[in-house]
Chain A
Amino acid sequence: MSDNEKNFLQIVDLKKGYGAGETRQEVLRGMNFSVAKGEICVLLGPSGSGKSTLLNIIGGIDNADGGYISIGGDKLQDMSEKRLTQYRRKHLGYVFQLYNLIGNLNVKENIETGAYLSDAPLDIDELLHTLGLYEHRYKLPNQLSGGQQQRVSIGRAIVKNPDILLCDEPTGALDYATSKEILKLIEDINQKYGNTVVMVTHNEAIRGMADHVVKLRDGQVRSNERNDRKISAADLEW
């Protein structure tokens, strides 16, 4: 693995705060770490540790106050609004805790919203099979269970085969069994398509499936380590 691949995603002295004056709160206080291309990186931390803010800045939907993020050598701070959009369009897939599906589009159409953005999208029917949603492809999101909705969300993110898949508490709203199914799906996708996965969670157990675990607290990196005892998502327990 080249240095570029090792430092595919670089977070350098990243700072972010909200509010002003006495009410100002520093959420990220100079964060540093890198994520290698194709690995699953799990960001662990309690509420308020800054993990979602970090994910939003990586996703280009929020700005840092200091430091920078680079992806494949490109610094997000240097990008114009238009380039940032292109960056999200070409390189990122996003999976949210609450799925964020478009309610008036059916399963297939929600996935097509992602496919439209790619010059070489994955085959949607094949992906629907992979996701186990083929039979549900004409259903609206509100006709699906939480797990099924999250699968659609993953499908929408992955259909354009992004370089990085950002997952913000993807199992946060799901039950145990469904959560494991979703994690397994993410793992399978990572293995099948080789996307870099950055997953934010407060569930310590999920670290087991990660290649790389970063623990955050109070806006800082408390630990940044490789997981040498990686296990399959199917074997995770909590």
Chain B
Amino acid sequence: MFLFLVLTIGFVSGMYVANESMMSANRSGAEKYKLEYGHFELKSQADDALLSAIAAGDKADVKQFYLDKAQKELDEKFRSEFEKEFDAKFQTEFAAKFRAQFDPTFREQFDAQFQAGVLQQLIASGADQQTASAMLPAAVAQAKASGAYQAAYDQAYPAAYDQAYKAAYDDAYAGAYDDAYATAYQEAQDKLQTEIDEKYADAEEKYELNDPDFKPVPVTLYENFFRNETEDNNNDGQSDGTVRVYAPTEDINLACLLDGRFPASADEIAIDRMHADNVGVRVGDTITVGGEEFQVVGLLAYVNYSTLHEKTTDLMFDALKFDVALVTEDGFARLHESVHYAYAWRYVTPPADETAEKSLSDDFMRALLTQTVVAENDLQDYVPRYANPAVNFAPDDMGSDEAMGGVLLNILTVIIAFIFAVTISNTIAKESPAIGTLRASGYTRAELTRHYLTMPVIVTLLAAVVGNILGYTLFKNVVVGMYYNSYSLPTYQTIWNGQAFLKTTVIPVVLMFVVNLLIITRMMRHTPLEFLRRQLKKSRRKKAVRLPSWRFFARFRLRIIFQNVSNYVILFLGVFFVMVLLAMAVGMPSTLAYYQDNSENMIFAKYQYVLKDYEDADGNAVTTAIDGAEKFSLSTLLHRSDVLDEEVSVYGVEPDSRYVLCPGLADLTGSRVYITQSFSDKYGIQVGDTVTLDEKYENKSYEFTVAGLYDGSQSIAVFMPIAEFRETFGQDENAFSGFFSDAELTDLDLDNVATVITIRDIQKMADQLDHSMGSYMTYFQYLCILLSAVMIYLLTKLIIEKNENAISMVKILGYQTGEIARLYLLSTTIVLVLADAVSVFLGTAVMKTAWRVIMASYSGWFDFRMEPVGYVKMFAFVLIGYLLVLLLDFRRIQKIPLDRALKGAE
């Protein structure tokens, strides 16, 4: 028990010391390495005016900006628009009427002019006035017959028409202008005002721009530009992942150098130590970044990347395929991908706590947003420190490890305390006459209680001392190794941890004291005479349970089980506890393996290209010629719960989609939708239920009725026909968000692509968890075997000790050790096997519930999976532990002396 306590306390103490030391290094590192309070990214580089405005932290007058802009546009465009509108109206309403009026008038005028002209020609040819007048009708008729009349008419008509038309148009326009221009201008202005009011109201609501509690938040801004480049670790020409390359900074987000040196020339690079370890890159190696070769001269840990989260929405970091790196300015210029204009900020007046930090961040975001809008830039990303998983994941995880370690230690301490208590209880029963004599001689209950309490308390205290020594030396290094294997942490110094002392010394001793005090006090209630007569059980006069007419050995074993019910209950609880741990140790790799092996079935298209807009900069619809690409619409809404406001992807898909295979999806109308099986599993949503999803930044909700479940996607998502989607979200009839495709859409202009979701997004969590925890799970399995063996050993030892007299007696009677083992060990074996079998399922059920609770606080969903072989493994592991114990117990039975029965009768 001492060893068991030492090892448990040692490990937990090591965890506390390592955690606290690393957390302390992390905290002090935030100042030392000038950790940002957050960062944002703009579409284009900010000019000095914008930077100054943002740094001042005050809001811009967005409404006035919109009004001024609109007025300017109105002034620029209204006249032409008015004319265009008048023209269109004139064309449709007046043109035909004008022609109808003009044509007869013109013909009359033309005929008169034509006849006058013919008459003049006749006179000019020698005819007198009278003869010419007489010849005129015939000459006109001849001209009409010869086409000369029509030719002259056609020649004269356009000019006359245009002239008349223009005059009429001008007259009409002048009239219309006098009558309508001012009114139309006013109407347009009013309409714009209304639109701006609505637009501003949305924005105001979205960002609480008129929050009366808003206070300007002055900040210091720092450029923190980066490029996302491909990384080829082994220079084989194939991309191995993405590396986020930063230009050097002086006053923000610095890196702790863990090996080598910082880059000094354009062809040198320093990369993340964790990633380098994972992919086997060492200082001195050459890697290819964005097609350019760099020599790795240093391994570092960026203060703002204690975990390598590529995106803030990533459920899990990815230290295998994602890297961060530092190059010189010249090195930065060698790269080709577009620069991400990221700006980090630090508050001029640092917040006192996280609540204050959130408040500052909210105000700052409003100011930033307005300033970006009025500068006609575009805010692409906004990540305050408290919401940045790359900064918070590691300390949060270490914090939860601490909490879990504490609970683990407390549970184990209570189990050991009960084992101690039962041992002492047995000892008291054995020493009952002596206790009776002492009590009869005048010793008080308190004195005897103190006597029996001393041992467990001293043992625990000693175990705590030794455990803490091991914790500060051996185990601390084990835990530190575990964390360095997952996180990019800076160097640390071991520090004294008062909490470790409290939790690994004071609390175990108190638990041990309390549990044993309760049991011993209860035992000590007996009178001296009862002690002298060994009458310590209340049930002494109870009748024996009648057993069926089974074989003698079967009944004997059943009697042993009845006799040791309390021990077996503790045994069951212990096995159950170990089984919960084993469920994690066995189920975690099984779950990860499942997701690694089946990730292809968990994404309905190999690529999801999400566009910035369905039209490019020129207003043309974005298209692709790659065969199989299919349009889809996507909107991200929030599913709100007490634990988490989770983003839900709402897809609009083609009715006959080749990717999202939902039978009946095409027939869905209104608010009827399909949801993913993951969505259903995570929130317990069933077919027929109504799901309410909210807009992220607007006070707008959507209610959907679940028509069916779709198991082709691992994400938390909703599916509806694309037409219904457009109607639901008020989109144009041609609008869409991107393309599903099983092939890379190489013909898409990447400038139009916001993001690409690939199978890697599914795989990376499983890969990273496997890398971080997979190997430890095997050790954890061994630890569980050991834990179960130790606990079973302690309890079976108690059972054997309790029956030493009986065992000695049956030995005297002539029972062989094998027969005794069949009686005393087989009964425990039966109980153990039953406890083992039941606990396999109970432990898994508890782990599944715990998993569900844990996952509820994270985005996304991974169902805990236990393969049938996993149950067998769990069962076998405890059994293996027990088989080891069985050997020891067999030897213990062998060693019980024959004269044991003669020295102390029951």
- Please give the residue numbers on chain A whose beta carbons come within 8 Å of chain B beta carbons, in ascending order: 52, 56, 59-62, 82, 85-90, 92, 94, 96, 98-106, 109, 112-117, 138-143, 156, 168
Instruction: Say yes or no: A103-B806 contact (C-beta < 8 A), given A96-B901, A143-B541, A156-B813.
Output: yes
Q: Is the CB of B543 within 8 A of A139?
A: yes
Q: How far is the CB of A137 from chain B (nearest CB, A)?
A: 10
Stretch from B232-240, B559-567, B835-843 contacting the other chain = B559-567
> Most chain-A Cβ atoms within 10 A of its Cβ — which of B555, B815, B899, B906?
B906
Q: How far is the CB of B621 from chain A (nearest CB, A)?
A: 86
Q: Is the CB of B806 within 8 A of A140?
A: no
Q: Which residues of B contact A112 (CB under 8 A)?
A: 552
Q: Is the CB of A113 within 8 A of B810?
A: yes
Q: In whole angstroms, how far apart are the Cα atoms of A61 and B815 in the complex?
A: 13
Instruction: Say yes or no: A94-B555 contact (C-beta < 8 A), given A101-B906, A138-B546.
Output: no
Q: Which residues of B contact A116 (CB under 8 A)?
A: 552-553
The answer, among A56, A90, A109, A138, for a CB contact under 8 Å with B552, is A109
Restricting to B868-906, which residues have a CB under 8 Å from any CB of A?
898-899, 901-902, 905-906
Q: How far is the CB of A171 from chain B (nearest CB, A)?
A: 15
Q: Count CB-based A-B contacts (< 8 Å).
A: 90
The answer, among A82, A98, A114, for a CB contact under 8 Å with B905, is A98
Q: Which residues of A contact B814 (CB under 8 A)?
A: 85-90, 92, 117
9 residue pairs bridging A and B, Cβ less than 8 Å apart: A96-B902, A96-B905, A100-B902, A104-B559, A104-B563, A113-B556, A116-B553, A143-B543, A156-B813
The answer, among A99, A140, A156, for a CB contact under 8 Å with B544, is A140
The answer, among A61, A82, A139, for a CB contact under 8 Å with B812, is A61
Instruction: Say yes or no: A117-B815 contact (C-beta < 8 A), given A104-B562, A138-B543, A143-B543.
Output: yes
Q: Which residues of A contact B809 (CB under 8 A)?
A: 100, 102
Question: For the complex, would chain B's binding face be called helix, strand, loop or mixed by DSSP majority?
Answer: helix
Q: Which residues of B contact A89 (CB under 8 A)?
A: 813-816
Q: Which residue of A lies closest to B534 (CB)?
A: A142
Q: Is the CB of B812 within 8 A of A59?
A: yes
Q: Is the CB of B543 within 8 A of A109?
A: no
Any chain A CB within 8 A of the CB of B677? Answer: no
When A and B form their complex, which 9 residue pairs have the shortest distance between CB atoms, in order from nearest? A89-B814, A98-B905, A61-B898, A88-B814, A104-B563, A106-B544, A102-B806, A103-B906, A140-B544
Instruction: Name 4 extra pairs, CB < 8 A, besides A52-B902, A61-B898.
Output: A56-B899, A89-B816, A100-B906, A101-B906
Any chain A CB within 8 A of the CB of B805? Answer: yes
Q: In whole angstroms, how far apart are the Cα atoms of A85 and B898 in the complex?
A: 11
Q: Which residues of B contact A101 (CB under 8 A)?
A: 906
Q: In whole angstroms, how far apart are the Cα atoms of A140 and B545 in the complex?
A: 9
The answer, among A52, A62, A94, A99, for a CB contact under 8 Å with B813, is A94
Q: Is the CB of A138 within 8 A of B905?
A: no
Any chain A CB within 8 A of the CB of B540? Answer: yes
Q: Which residues of A contact B806 (CB under 8 A)?
A: 102-104
Q: In whole angstroms, how far apart are the Cα atoms of A142 and B530 in the complex?
A: 13
Q: Is the CB of A85 within 8 A of B905?
A: no
Q: In whole angstroms, how far apart are the Cα atoms of A142 and B544 in the complex?
A: 10
Q: How far is the CB of A176 from chain B (nearest CB, A)?
A: 21
Q: In whole angstroms, how far apart are the Cα atoms of A140 and B563 in the complex?
A: 12
Q: Which residue of A lies closest to B814 (CB)?
A: A89
Q: Which residue of A lies closest to B537 (CB)?
A: A142
Q: Is the CB of A88 within 8 A of B543?
A: no
> Most chain-A Cβ atoms within 10 A of its Cβ — which of B806, B814, B906?
B814
Restricting to B106-134, which residues have a CB under 8 Å from any CB of A?
none
Q: Is the CB of B559 within 8 A of A100?
A: no
Q: In whole angstroms, how far apart are the Cα atoms of A115 and B810 in the complex?
A: 12
Q: How far is the CB of A97 from chain B (nearest CB, A)?
A: 8
Q: Is the CB of B901 within 8 A of A100?
A: yes
Q: Is the CB of A113 within 8 A of B902?
A: no
Q: Which residues of B contact A168 (CB under 8 A)?
A: 902
Q: In whole angstroms, how far apart are the Cα atoms of A88 and B559 in the complex?
A: 25
Q: Which residues of B contact A86 (CB under 8 A)?
A: 814
